[in-house]
Homo-oligomer: A and B are copies of this chain.
Amino acid sequence: MTDAATDVDRAVRDAAASGLDRASRDDRARWLTAIADALEAARDELMAIAREETHLSEARLNGEVGRTATQLRFFAGVVREGSYLEATLDSPDRSLVPPRPDLRRMLRPLGVVGVFGASNFPFAFSVLGNDTASALAAGCPVVAKAHPGHPRLSRRTVEVARDALAAAGGPESAVTLVEGLDAGVALVTDPLVTAVGFTGSTRGGRALFDLAAARPAPIPFYGELGSINPVVVTRAAATADVDGIAAGLAGSFTRDGGQYCTKPGLVLVPAGAGFEDALAGSLAGAAPQRLLTEGIAAAFDRGAGAIAERDDVEVVFRGEATDAAAPVVIATSAVAFAHAHEAFLEEHFGPLTVLVRYDGDDELADALRVLEGSLTASIQHAPGEDVGPLAEALGRISGRLVFNGWPTGVAIAWAQHHGGSWPATTASVHTSVGATAIRRWLTPIAYQDAPAAVLPPELADGNPLGVPRREDGVLVAAR
């Protein structure tokens, strides 16, 4: 065993022995809240480290710490409310064919979860981000793999969480950090790890997904990978307010250096509506943003250079290159896009977007047909315009449909969905944000004719904990 594998093995064994799966829902909710409080108490110290490691702005990082604490508290609420358990009771009926025994089903924690932090959200999608918050809420201890873009922040954040757990009487070993490529491989292949959450690149995510699937006992790998987040601007919308829409797009695709998985990377605009000029105008004063890591900056320069040199494109805008990344806007025709869509659908992580000019409904429809799975799709439309067919076409490929808004900014809500089919994620039936993100770390168990003493209280006669349940097919809301 390599050193990395030994470290991972120890962390995973400690996590498995943490007892988090046996803790009450109330205790887990309290611990999540304690971690949120501790994170906010350490805000200044953590932000200073994050500033150095990520180059993200103070305002952005400040917001992100708040978001991360909100997420932790949100999942505390989800655990307390209890409907995530899907508690379901059927009373016996021997007259049925086949006969029905007394059956009681609920979800239980899967076991130790591996979480890979992302580069672009050093808090909210990193070691204490959504994956960790939802896993701890579910009762699954987490072994987190630090992103190499912010190792010191990851270490300190996990320390803060462990101290908070210990102070609140919880198991410190429920969150552990491991570091390095070898540790990541060891984590995905460790026999005691039961599921993995990942936010990152398509290439890295695919490699780890393949490892998880090739295990002797395969485990679910929930990867959020690349997403182009197409936007359609209707002709009526452009006619009504081309400048306003262009300004909105400029703000969205350049926000924090365009380093969002929800960045609008492909915008279908009506030909001849003046969108290109309006967008270039909006970008005239845009400040460059230093990207997260040298590697990301180099990849962005390479990608932007390659697409700008294509014969079938026009460079609409290219800000002045400094040591930071300046916005780039490329335009092409719908015909060229339909012809070479694979190249145009490649994600550029950074402030670049591609305009695809369509002339009429047929060209638009042809372009929509070749789109791939995406986290979001957006429609800029005029008031009262019929966008039903557009919504249906985009709904087939995206997890979240945005109307007259921009995809960056993912609210924390019961109704949120942050997912989509390949290549947006490796597991299109699940989400990584929103209340149902907890479902990824749970597995059902059914009790057949169980003695009362064996049943979890959530399945007991009389519903002593008052959780929402389904009883003989009828939903019974919480008391």
Contact = CB atoms under 8 A, between A and B. Distances in A.
A429 interface: yes
Contact of A416 (B70, B103, B453, B454): B103
Contacts of A86: 436
A214 B213 CA distance: 9
A258 interface: no
A400 interface: yes
A449 B405 contact: yes
A386 interface: yes
Interface in A340-390: 372-373, 381, 386-388
A337 B413 CA distance: 50
Given A105-B417, A414-B90, A478-B475, A63 B401 contact: no
Contacts of A426: 218
A219 B435 CA distance: 23
Contacts of A395: 108, 445
Contacts of A1: none
A453 B386 contact: yes
Which of A400, A451, A470, A472 gathers most chain B CB within 10 Å?
Answer: A451
A110 interface: yes
Contacts of A386: 453
A400 B454 contact: no
A98 B415 contact: no
B401 A447 contact: yes
Nearest to A423: B217
A147 interface: no
Contact of A429 (B409, B436, B440): B440
A117 interface: no
Please give me the 9 A-B residue pairs with the lowest Cβ-Cβ distance, nearest first: A213-B213, A217-B422, A417-B446, A103-B415, A105-B415, A88-B415, A417-B444, A100-B411, A400-B446
Given A399-B443, A401-B447, A475-B475, 14 more contacts: A83-B470, A83-B475, A96-B411, A98-B410, A104-B415, A105-B416, A219-B422, A398-B445, A400-B445, A401-B454, A414-B470, A428-B443, A429-B443, A434-B446
